[in-house]
């Protein structure tokens, strides 16, 4: 054993003894030992037991007290307001309203982007008779959505199926031709 092991041998033995005792005693005995240690610590401070009892009462009252939140920041997972820098980083001070969702407010860009796939927005689009596709992402006004839907419908009508152009034929050599070219070559007898 080295120099450090010799120096710490007594501390290691005391720790092992303490752990063995801790595992061997019941919960009531462990609670009694903790109470004795608290009383011994209170006597060592010179204050008796009154200061300890008073601070225990304060802790219970502090848990029930309302949180100090003058900026009205949202609460985090621990029930406390999130830091101001995090509030600013995520843009939670910016409000986005969506007319399609019934003028619902969304705070922060992330929540706003996420709402386009939620039921409220999909239901609003369905009520307008418009499919909730990627084309309508960031469109929050009803008039804008209807106008874009009409424009997309016009484009679909123009791009509709035209058999004279889109129908394909194959000649005896395996060449693929559209209908007009195929009929012209057939009339000329070149096929």
Model confidence over 43-52: pLDDT tens digits? 776 554 444 4
User: Considering Cα of 100, then 101, then 107, then 109, what sign does the dihedral take?
Assistant: negative
Q: Which residue has the tokens 């394909």?
A: 168
User: Considering Cα of 24, then 26, then 27, then 28, what sign does the dihedral take?
Assistant: negative
3-state DSSP assignment of residue 130: coil
- Are 94 and 107 within 8 A, CB to CB? yes
Q: Report d(CA 142, CA 6) in Å as an integer.
A: 80
Model pLDDT for residues 6-64, shown as the tens digit of each residue: 888 999 999 998 888 888 888 888 888 888 888 888 777 655 444 444 444 445 555 66
Model pLDDT for residues 127-158, shown as the tens digit of each residue: 999 999 999 999 999 999 999 999 999 877 66
| Domain boundaries, given as residue ranges, for the chain | 6-45, 95-158, 161-191
pLDDT, mean over the chain: 84
130: Cβ–Cβ under 8 A, 6 or more apart, which residues?
Answer: 136, 145, 146, 149
Q: How many Å is the Cα radius of gyration of the chain?
A: 38
């Amino acid at each position: 054993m080295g120099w450090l092991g010799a120096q710490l041998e007594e501390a290691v033995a005391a720790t092992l003894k303490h752990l063995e005792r801790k595992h061997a005693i019941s919960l009531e005995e462990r609670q009694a030992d903790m109470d004795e240690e608290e009383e011994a610590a209170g006597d060592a401070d010179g204050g008796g037991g009154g200061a300890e009892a008073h601070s225990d009462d304060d802790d219970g009252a502090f848990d029930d007290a309302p949180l100090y939140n003058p900026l009205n920041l949202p609460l985090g997972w621990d029930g406390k307001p999130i830091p101001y820098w995090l509030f600013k980083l995520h843009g939670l001070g910016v409000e986005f309203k969506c007319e399609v969702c019934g003028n619902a407010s969304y705070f922060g860009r992330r929540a706003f982007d996420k709402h386009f796939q939620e039921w409220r927005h999909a239901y609003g689009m369905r009520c307008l008779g418009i499919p909730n596709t990627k084309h309508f992402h960031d469109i929050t006004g009803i008039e804008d959505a209807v106008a874009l839907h009409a424009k997309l419908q016009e484009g679909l009508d123009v791009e509709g199926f035209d058999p004279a152009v889109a129908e394909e034929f194959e000649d005896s050599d395996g060449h693929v031709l559209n209908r007009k070219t195929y009929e012209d070559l057939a009339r000329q007898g070149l096929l």
